[in-house]
Amino acid sequence: MEKVDEIIARYNGDRSALISILQDIQAEYNWLPREVLTEVAKKMGLSLTELCGTVTFYRSFRLKPRGKHLITVCMGTACHVRGAPRVLEELEKKLKTSAGATTPDRLFTLETVRCLGACALGPIVVLGDEYHGQMTKAKVDALLSEVRQSERGASQ
């Protein structure tokens, strides 16, 4: 909770900075764990209900753990007819998780969206901030291997 204390102190515990405080905490943890929210409420003189009301009002706040790497699969019409459901199925199989979930090792979170606005590149998968167009089931392995290799290299 030391990090939480530092973040709150950075804003002098000012209630008008609550959104900024929560954003910074989420950036630190990659989500907002319940025990952290309880601590924030206590430190800022808020009820947990008040705080959770704020957190659930804004879509940008996450109450479930999110992976280090976000994978988004476009399921818009153009991507759908070009094979996005098969790509999503392959990602779910390889990651051993489903859309909307995070892998147990918290390395990946898999999400779907209705449209990314890059229809000519469909089916499209976004990994972090990188767009991967004309994705196929065969390209899924290479995409995941690249991330896993970079993770292994970073941990050595």
Q: What is the homologous superfamily of the domain 69-155 according to CATH?
A: Glutaredoxin (3.40.30.10)
Sequence ranges of the domains in the chain = 2-57, 69-155
pLDDT in tens, 82-119: 999 999 999 999 999 999 999 999 999 999 999 999 99
Inter-residue contact 87 to 100 (CB < 8 Å) = no
pLDDT in tens, 42-95: 999 999 999 999 999 998 899 988 899 999 999 999 999 999 999 999 999 999
Q: What is the residue type of 78?
A: A
What pLDDT does 156 receive? 61
